[in-house]
Amino acid sequence: MRTFQAAAVVSIVVSALIVFSLIGRAVSFVTEVDLSDLAAGGWFPRRSMFGLPTILTGSVIVAGIAMLVAAPLGLGAAIYLAEYARPRVRKVIKPVLEILAGIPSVVVGVFALSWISPQIIGRLSGDAGLFNMAAAGIGVGVLVTPLVASVAEDSFRAVPMSLREASYGLGAKKRSTTTKIVFPAAISGVVASIILGISRAIGETMVVLIVAGGTGGAEFSLNPFNAGQTMTGAMAALARGSDQVRGADQAFPSLFFVGLLLFLITLSLNVVSERYVRRVRQKY
Amino acid sequence: MRKMETTTPVEQQAPSARVVTSVRSAGEDEGAVNPTVFDIENLSVFYGEFKAVRDVSLAIEERKITAMIGPSGCGKTTVLRCLNRMNDLIESARVEGRVQYHGIDLYDTQVDPVEVRRRIGMVFQKPNPFPKSIYENVAFGPRIAGFKGDMDELVDQSLRKAALWDEVKERLKESAMGLSGGQQQRLCIARAIAVEPDVILMDEPASALDPIATGRIEDLMQEIKQEFTIVIVTHNMQQAARISDMTAFFTAEVSEQNDRRTGVLVEYDKTEKIFTNPSNERTENYVTGRFG
């Protein structure tokens, strides 16, 4: 019992230390940097341009495209698995989905660069370069789909059989039972799955680093077919040293500021989704 | 052509049957033999390899309350769920024999189970209102059936028939989950009534309720029996004796080969006869409390 307690304490202490070190260095970055640099028209740490709008919109665009892929695919798969698949089919598909969730993100990143970008984005827009935010978004969407599917499926399966029977007993077809009874009854779980998906998509790094084209810096852009930088991509490039240069003293500390920002965003998303999940457990 | 033959009689007979009710005065001669709604012939039900019910034959009359009683595992619920093809939802379930509804074989390949359930409603053991408002619970069935009339009026009428209106009229927009168990069950009855079925099947509708709520459900059944044919499964012999016109007594026979229980119909007769002067010794043992 002592050992488990120690393990719990250590993990909490480590988390707290991470947050404290983030806060400390983030604060020193903000106090030392020229605040107008934070509103620069691009993210070029080597030139002391820390344009937060650039990486914030980059994250939103990539996560948004990711969810355009992951929400319909994930929810569709969840409905199929929970409501339509025969037990035998389910026994095969469910583990496949779980394996998909285990694919290393670097593999998806390479796939996004070698196939999604030229084959899908290249065909959608002739102007798009090989490195662009849209390809990164689709790649992240592929990564996030199993998570959305799994959380949503759990919430569909948590809807009691008796509600489906009541619906069938009133002469409802399978389709109306699924869309008008099961789906609304599981709505908090569905929302939770989407929020968790967004949180995961914003936090995803490797695919963005490989294919979004932000290493070395990026101009502010709202066009997903352009190269761009996200918060995570910016952090990775800084940490690796590729976005640093002698003389740009603020480049490295900016890493902690962005890290804190990212931490706060994903934390609040997770708290919100946790609340929804709890609501789904209380019902019926 | 085949489809026409199997579907049209249902379309025609159910409404004409309803016309007959309005002509009959309430409480008229309880002993009279009414037209047959269900004619069950040699029904056997299997779950996979397991035979749950064997060779059940009985005819259920229109606008009467038919009770199915018997010990646990005697297959009474299984038989009930065959009457609106609810057993279709269980993957391994398989039916042999015939269940005729107004002369139509319910298990004919041309018959649509969705249409069957629209005519033959069901109330379940545990109250299972949808996690929606009281109003939406009642409106759900008519809405999916494409009801175009005055929904407020239909909800109002259905709740009145289910003796729930006075308790909920002020809070139709509130969640049905906030009602008491007895109210929830009456809401489920209102919900079933709202699709204007021909038959209402009830699977131990009062077993999860306290005696007062049970009494209200029983009174309600007597009221709506003027309009609907009711088939009720119950564990409670007194309940069957109080409310039903006809009673079917089922029991479970234990196979000597594999020790599994198969339900059989022992006796089916007027309720009064089943409880006072049964023909079969097993029935007598059960209703007098010597067995089960």
Q: CA-CA distance, B120 to B140, in Å (whole number)?
A: 16
Question: What is the DSSP secondary structure assignment for residue B131, as one 8-state letter?
Answer: S
Domain boundaries, chain B: 2-25+34-287
Q: Quick one: pLDDT at residue B15?
A: 42
Blockwise average pLDDT, block size 10, chain A, 284 residues: 91 92 91 90 91 96 98 97 93 91 94 95 89 97 96 94 96 96 92 94 96 91 95 92 76 91 92 80 59
Is residue A145 in some structural domain? yes
Burial class of A196 by CB neighbour count within 10 A (0 to 12, 13 to 18, 19+): buried
Find the CATH number of the domain harbouring A117: 1.10.3720.10
Q: Quick one: pLDDT at residue B26?
A: 42
Closest CA to A159 of A78, A269, A92, A96: A78
Q: Quick one: pLDDT at residue B20?
A: 39
Question: What is the DSSP secondary structure assignment for residue B132, as one 8-state letter?
Answer: S
Confidence grade of residue B263 (pLDDT, cut at 50, 70, 90)? very high
Is residue A29 in some structural domain? no
Interval B195-232: pLDDT, tens: 999 999 999 999 989 999 999 999 999 999 999 999 99
Q: Which of A87, A168, A176 sits opposite B117 (nearest CB)?
A: A168
Is residue A283 in some structural domain? no
Please state the rounded mean pLDDT for residues B133-144: 97
Q: CA-CA distance, B250 to B77, in Å (whole number)?
A: 10
Q: Is A88 within 8 Å of chain B by CB?
A: no
- Residue B191 in contact with residue B158, Cβ under 8 Å? yes
Q: Quick one: pLDDT at residue B256?
A: 78
Percent of chain B exceeding pLDDT 70 equals 89
**H/E element holding A62?**
helix A52-79
Q: Quick one: pLDDT at residue B14?
A: 43
Average pLDDT over chain B, rounded to an integer? 88
How many CB atoms lie under 10 A from the CB of residue A267? Answer: 12
Interval B23-45: pLDDT, tens: 334 444 556 788 999 999 999 99
Q: Is A175 within 8 Å of chain B by CB?
A: no
Query: Under an 8 A CB cutoff, do A166 and B84 touch?
Result: no
Residue A267 has φ and ψ, to the nearest 5°, of: -60, -45
ipTM (interface pTM)? 0.86
Q: Quick one: pLDDT at residue B22?
A: 38
Query: Under an 8 A CB cutoff, do A162 and B192 touch?
Result: no
- Residue A108 in contact with residue A130, Cβ under 8 Å? no
Which residues of B make CB contacts under 8 Å with A? 84, 86, 89, 91, 114-115, 117-119, 121-122, 124, 126, 128-132, 140-141, 144-145, 177, 188, 191-192, 195
Q: CA-CA distance, A114 to A214, in Å (whole number)?
A: 17
Please state the rounded mean pLDDT for residues B235-247: 94
Is residue A154 in some structural domain? yes
Q: Quick one: pLDDT at residue B24?
A: 39
Residue A249 has φ and ψ, to the nearest 5°, of: -70, -25
Task: Note down the domain range covering A71.
Answer: 62-215+224-234
- Of residues B18 and A72, more confidently modeled: A72
Please state the rounded mean pLDDT for residues B189-198: 96
Q: How many domains does chain A have?
A: 1
Is residue A11 in some structural domain? no
Q: CA-CA distance, B262 to B46, in Å (whole number)?
A: 10
Burial track B19-50 (b if 16+ CB lie within 10 A, e otherwise): eeeeeeeeeeeeeeebeebbbbeebbbbeeee
Q: Architecture of B2-25+34-287 per CATH?
A: 3-Layer(aba) Sandwich (3.40)
Confidence grade of residue B78 (pLDDT, cut at 50, 70, 90)? very high
Q: Quick one: pLDDT at residue B31?
A: 61
Chain B interface, best mutation among A170, A181, A183, A190, by max B CB count within 10 A? A170
Q: Quick one: pLDDT at residue B9?
A: 43
- Residue B70 in contact with residue B251, Cβ under 8 Å? yes
